[in-house]
Amino acid sequence: MIIYPSIDKLLDRINSKYSLVSIAAKRAVELQTDKNPMLNEYKSPKFVGQALEEIASNDLVIDPDSLTQK
């Protein structure tokens, strides 16, 4: 269950649950392999939670074209 950040705040940033999950998973893999954090401090100890925190804080820049189907 997601407590922080709230799903409502995340869906304000990315309007599709599928896109949200896909982007968070990709970023979590980057965090795990690169250890290149965007935030100074995270509330979540897990990489997926950290990715969601980056999305909620608007630090993760998302290309709008990547969210549309081709």
Note if the pTM is more than 0.85.
no
Q: Is residue 70 part of a domain?
A: no
Q: Is residue 39 part of a domain?
A: yes
Q: Give the residue-averaged pLDDT of 42-62.
A: 89
Q: What is the pLDDT of residues 15-26, one digit of tens each?
A: 889 989 999 999
Q: Is residue 47 part of a domain?
A: yes
- Domains of the chain: total: 1
- On whether the CB atoms of residues 54 and 44 are closer than 8 A, the answer is no
Q: Is residue 29 part of a domain?
A: yes
| Burial class for 12, CB neighbours closer than 10 Å (0-12, 13-18, 19+) | exposed
Domain range for 35: 7-61
69 or 54, greater pLDDT: 54
What's residue 70's pLDDT?
A: 54
- b/e burial code for range 19-31 (CB count within 10 A of at least 16 → b): ebeebbeebbeeb
